[in-house]
């Protein structure tokens, strides 16, 4: 495992351009890439790279002029040896807009009345028809609510694999004038929830705690997410699972179809990772959990 540090400099915030920072830090084209669309320069370094502290020193006093993100990177051998993997979608194209505000239906009878955690989907997944370009050329993707979507070929490979803990739902695109049109995609729906994570987890914070204690969790950009679970809590897991905790921004006013709901994380076995990898699915981080005894 190694930790990747990505720093995105907002080009027009620096008099003389980003080279005034990159040059003194020794960051050349081997690690620095210009993003013309965002007008940023992205520098990717190993956390142990001797150039990193120099770069961060030069950026002192420019807190609003750059963004920093750290994430752990793993070898195939480390992923294969994991008990469970957190599935994190990060594709440059972004996630496709979907969920209750587009028309997906939910049963809220067992959900938290304050935040909506525990909402149970009861319909096919409905995505915004104006954002179908996000799915073009992809084998798998995710919605803005972390729903996992897979193309028909990958869905077939999953169905034939004997993997446990999931079912499929259809996926429809919603258009203002044309109504709903079914897409050649499937939504993966987990049937098993793992117990709460261990307090020894790091890189996770509560932005606005809910009385239910289950929602408003989020990752931290500058600290890699490292989830830990008790050995007893992962003794009887399935190939596809979801977390007890629900993540993301929440704006729930009682009307689910005018709300922003939280969502659980997918926790899968290496078997699922192999199927995605062999299908050529990209845009995902696969993060091994830590198993602890408590």
User: Of 52, 73, 94, which residue is a domain's last?
Assistant: 73
The structure's pTM equals 0.91
Q: What is the CATH number of the domain that holds 41?
A: 3.30.70
- Residue 293's pLDDT band, with cuts at 50, 70 and 90, is confident
| Whether residues 44 and 179 fall in one domain | no
| Whether residues 82 and 215 fall in one domain | yes
Residue 41: count of CB within 10 angstroms of its CB: 22
| Whether residues 99 and 28 fall in one domain | no
Domain hosting 204: range is 76-292
CA terminus-to-terminus distance, the chain: 24
Is the CB of residue 129 less than 8 Å from the CB of residue 225? no
Q: What is the pLDDT of residue 27?
A: 96
- 176-219 pLDDT, tens digit per residue, is 877 899 999 999 999 999 999 999 999 999 877 899 999 989 98
| Whether residues 92 and 221 fall in one domain | yes
| Whether residues 61 and 107 fall in one domain | no
| Whether residues 203 and 80 fall in one domain | yes
Looking up tokens 């990772």, which residue turns up? Answer: 273
| Whether residues 37 and 81 fall in one domain | no
Is the CB of residue 228 less than 8 Å from the CB of residue 290? yes
User: Of 28, 46, 73, which residue is a domain's last?
Assistant: 73
| Whether residues 164 and 197 fall in one domain | yes
- 245-290 pLDDT, tens digit per residue, is 999 999 998 888 888 999 999 999 999 999 999 999 999 999 999 9
User: Of 22, 44, 73, which residue is a domain's last?
Assistant: 73
Q: What angle do CA 41, 42, 44 make, to 5 degrees?
A: 150
| Whether residues 90 and 38 fall in one domain | no
Domain count for the chain? 2
| Whether residues 69 and 107 fall in one domain | no
| Whether residues 157 and 144 fall in one domain | yes
CA distance 86 to 173: 27
CA distance 279 to 150: 10
């Amino acid at each position: 495992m190694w930790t990747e540090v990505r720093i995105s400099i907002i080009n027009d915030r620096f008099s003389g351009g980003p080279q005034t920072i990159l040059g003194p830090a020794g960051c050349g084209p081997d690690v620095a890439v210009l993003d013309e669309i965002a007008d940023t320069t992205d520098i990717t370094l190993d956390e142990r790279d001797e150039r990193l502290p120099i770069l961060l020193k030069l950026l002192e006093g420019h807190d609003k002029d750059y963004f920093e993100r750290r994430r752990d990177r793993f070898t195939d051998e480390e992923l294969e040896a994991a008990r469970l993997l957190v599935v994190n979608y990060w594709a440059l194209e972004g996630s496709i807009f979907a969920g209750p505000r587009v028309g997906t239906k939910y049963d809220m009878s067992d959900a938290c009345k304050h935040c909506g955690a525990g909402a149970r989907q009861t319909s096919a997944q409905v995505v915004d028809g104006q954002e179908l370009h996000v799915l073009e050329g992809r084998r798998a993707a995710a919605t803005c609510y972390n729903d996992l979507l897979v193309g028909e070929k990958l869905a077939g490979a999953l169905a034939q694999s004997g993997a446990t803990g999931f079912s499929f739902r259809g996926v429809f695109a919603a258009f203002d004038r044309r109504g709903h049109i079914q897409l050649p995609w499937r939504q993966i729906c987990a049937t098993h929830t793992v117990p709460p994570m261990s307090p020894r987890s790091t890189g996770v914070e509560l932005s606005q705690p809910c009385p239910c204690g289950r929602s408003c969790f989020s990752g931290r950009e500058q600290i890699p997410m490292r989830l830990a679970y008790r050995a007893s809590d992962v003794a009887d897991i399935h190939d596809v699972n979801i977390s007890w905790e629900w993540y993301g921004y929440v704006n729930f006013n009682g009307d689910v179809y005018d709300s922003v709901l939280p969502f659980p994380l997918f926790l899968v076995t290496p078997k699922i990772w192999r199927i995605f990898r062999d299908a050529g699915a990209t845009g995902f981080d696969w993060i091994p959990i830590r198993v602890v005894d408590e």
